[in-house]
Structures are given as C-alpha cells and as structure tokens.
C-alpha cells in the first residue's frame, strides 16, 4: 500500500482520471502532454489505467453544437461520435511510444452487477498483463441518469478499487482542493486529507454547468474518499501538473489511504 504522496512514483498500478474540460475544445492540445506523462511511467513498468471523460464534448463540434446539449438523445449521439474521435486522439499520440490502448466502456450498473463487474475486472487485468493501456469511460451512448447528473470521478474510484490500484490521480483545471473556491480571497490549498477527516468548514463551489464538464471539487472529494477508504491513495491536482504528480512531487491535495482495509 502507498501511504504517502512521494510514493506515487513507485506505484505498481495507477489510475489517472482526466475531465472533459482538460482535454477538449481549446484544451484538446493537453492530450499530448498527458500522454507523455503516462508513457513515461508506463515505460518504467507501471500499469496505467486512464479514465477519460470528454466523449460528449469531443463530439459536439461534429454535430454543429456550440454548447452541451440538454436532451438525452443528442447527448447520446454526441457521445457516440465523440468517443470514437477521443480514443483516436489518444492512440495517435500513444503511437509515438509504441503503446497500444484498449477501450473499456462501463456504466454504473456494470459495476453494481457481480457478473458484469467480474467480466470488466478480467478484461482489464488481461489488458494490463499484455501491456495495453486501458482507456475507460462511462458508456454515455446507453447511460441515462449518469449523463444528466454523473461524472467520471466516482467511476475512476470504482475502477481503482476493482483492479486494486495503489494510487489514483484525479485531474481537472484546478491544481488542488481549497478551503473555499480558489477564486475567492482567503482560499487556502489543502495539502493532505487524513482518513476520517470531514473537512469541516471547507466550502465547495457549485460545479460549472455552462461548460462541457459535469464534476466539481465536491465530486472529487467524494470519489477520493471512496477510493482512500478502500486502500488507494488519491491525489487531486490539475492536468497541467500530471508529470509532477506521477513523479511524487508536492503538488495538489493528497488523500491518505485507510490502512486497516481488509
């Protein structure tokens, strides 16, 4: 078990989750530096699982949409187009390193059902043993409730638990969890969250719905707590700091894993 942030660099198996706004639209160029960082640890023998949002956001321009669609059918259509393009972008960048990716699409129901969960675990374990880099996303084309209210932070935590990841890195546009929204004067970065720390007095802002993402600080804290309670250390930071994060540098907010997990 990894108990400190510095030990991330020695993780045998790690889950990295990136949000829609970090790799789509004006930030689509972030895919390359993200892949650079993942390829570096992959070449060192680390087993890497990427949980990537962004299917709907990536598909929107191909449907002539300037903002995230409100109706479910159009969201599903955008996801169907965008997932294909998104995985192509990742694979095109991974080709420079001779790394092959494998697409894994899941819904919350898949991980609730014992048979589906077992199948998903077996598939990902085999992909990892073959040195394939799994790219996991919610199956937005068939999901319903998840598209409207969900995010991939919880999915990442469930995947980390499923495959026994030693560490998880949650990436967004904000470099850490703060005591209040970082744009508000007096906001202070929270460096470490210990098991059982309820973060009393911390103020979370509302997740921005005007953009392409659906998550926010509160969803990341919830997901981080879930994974940490099951023995996975979690770092929350920005996509621009992925390289430092995977080297175990002192960035972001670290959620110390619970040590007495059976």
Task: Give residue for tokens 């990442």.
Answer: 156
Q: State how beta strands 167-172 and 233-238 pair.
A: parallel
- Contact between 257 and 2 under an 8 Å Cβ cutoff? The reply is yes
Asked if residue 260 belongs to a known ligand binding site, the reply is: no
Q: How far apart are CA 132 and CA 57, in angstroms?
A: 25
Assign residue 180 a region (left: φ > 0; alpha: ψ between -120 and 50; beta: otherwise): beta
Query: How far is it, in rounded angstroms, from Cα 68 to Cα 70?
Result: 7
152 annotated ligand-binding residue: yes
What length is written for the chain?
Answer: 262
Sign of torsion over alpha carbons 156, 160, 162, 163? positive
197 is in an annotated binding site: no
Q: According to the annotation, is 53 in a ligand binding site? A: yes
- 220 annotated ligand-binding residue: no
Angle between helices 152-162 and 114-129 (to 10 degrees): 70
Contact 11, 2 (CB under 8 A): yes
Structure tokens at 168: 């998880």
Q: Give dist(CA 85, CA 75) in Å, integer.
A: 15
Q: Which one, of 31, 60, 80, 30, lies nearest residue 211 by Cα?
A: 60
Provide φ and ψ at 192, rounded to 5°. Answer: -140, 140
Q: Which residues are annotated as a binding site for ATP?
A: 17, 172-173
Query: Per the annotation, where are the binding residues?
Result: 17, 53, 140, 152, 172-173
Q: Which residues are annotated as a binding site for substrate?
A: 53, 140, 152
């Amino acid at each position: 078990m990894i108990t400190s942030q510095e030990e991330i660099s020695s993780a045998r198996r790690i889950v990295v989750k990136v949000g829609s706004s970090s790799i789509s639209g004006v930030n689509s160029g972030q895919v390359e530096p993200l892949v650079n960082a993942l390829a570096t640890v992959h070449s060192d023998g680390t087993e890497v699982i990427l949980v990537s949002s962004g299917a709907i956001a990536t598909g929107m321009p191909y449907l002539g949409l300037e903002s995230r669609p409100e109706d479910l059918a159009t969201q599903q259509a955008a996801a169907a187009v965008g997932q294909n393009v998104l995985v192509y972008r990742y694979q095109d960048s991974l080709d420079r390193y001779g790394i092959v990716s494998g697409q894994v699409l899941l819904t919350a129901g898949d991980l609730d059902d014992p048979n589906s969960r077992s199948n998903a675990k077996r598939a990902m374990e085999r992909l990892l043993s073959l040195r394939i880099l799994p790219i996991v996303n919610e199956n937005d084309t068939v999901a319903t409730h998840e598209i409207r209210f969900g995010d991939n932070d919880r999915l990442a935590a469930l995947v980390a638990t499923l495959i026994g990841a030693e560490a998880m890195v949650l990436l967004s546009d904000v470099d850490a969890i703060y005591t209040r929204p970082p744009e508000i004067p007096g906001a202070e970065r929270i460096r470490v969250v210990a098991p059982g720390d309820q973060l009393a007095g911390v103020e979370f802002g509302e997740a921005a719905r005007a953009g392409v993402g659906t998550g926010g600080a509160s969803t990341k804290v919830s997901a981080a707590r879930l994974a940490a309670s099951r023995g996975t250390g979690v770092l929350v930071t920005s996509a621009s700091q992925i390289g430092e994060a995977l080297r175990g540098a002192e960035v972001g907010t670290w959620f110390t894993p619970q040590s007495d997990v059976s």
